[in-house]
Amino acid sequence: MIWKRNTARVLPVDPEGRALLLRGWDPLRPRDRYWFTVGGATERGESLLAAAVREAREEVGIMVDEASLGSQIESSTIEWTLLGIRVVQDLAYYAVPVRDVKVNLAGMGWIERATVNRHAWLTPEELEADPIRCADPRLPDMLRLAVAAVRSAPEPGIPVPRRQLA
């Protein structure tokens, strides 16, 4: 069985240049832990931006609006297995500047509550140095793009411009 998903991924970036990430695992392989971004699949008729806003609120309790997300900073496709199901996931990444955020995981769905055990604010360098793998191998580069995009935004609430990997 293959489960294909279009997902919106949100990289909240704090003033220190750290992005909020989640750490999870597949219950069938509990020792195989990985870092991943806030976000999830679009619902029927939902745009990627609307999904990003909803997922940020549901998964980590961060309230953002579509304008603060701006343009997609990058995209990627990954394949992985969850509960024995092959997942092909198209990822659309968005960056958003945040300040003084209190992370709240209470809005997560049942599968997320069962498979997410940690959140952390990490720089790209800290992520690369961590022995836990990244769900998307390009995640450290996505963090760099997010930090650069947020730092180039003139002020909070201004859409974040798209950046390309160097």
Of 56-60, 72-76, 87-91, the least confident = 87-91
Instruction: Give the pTM.
Output: 0.86
Nearest to 97 by CA among 165, 7, 158: 158
pLDDT band at 142 (very low <50, low <70, confident <90, very high): very high
Q: Where are the domains of the chain?
A: 2-152
Task: Report the pLDDT value the prediction gives residue 87, as an integer from 0 to 100.
Answer: 80
Q: Are the C-beta atoms of 150 and 96 separated by less than 8 Å? A: yes
The CATH code for residues 2-152 is 3.90.79.10
What is the rounded distance in angstroms from the CA atom of residue 157 to the CA atom of residue 63?
12
Nearest to 14 by CA among 133, 85, 115, 119: 119
Is 163 a residue whose pLDDT tops 90?
Answer: no
Q: What is the DSSP string of 26-89?
A: ETTEEEEEEEEEEEEEPPTT--HHHHHHHHHHHHH-----HHHH-S--EEEEEEEEETTEEEEE
Instruction: Report helix, strand or coil for 112.
Output: helix
pLDDT band at 164 (very low <50, low <70, confident <90, very high): very low
pLDDT band at 161 (very low <50, low <70, confident <90, very high): very low
Is 162 a residue whose pLDDT tops 80?
Answer: no
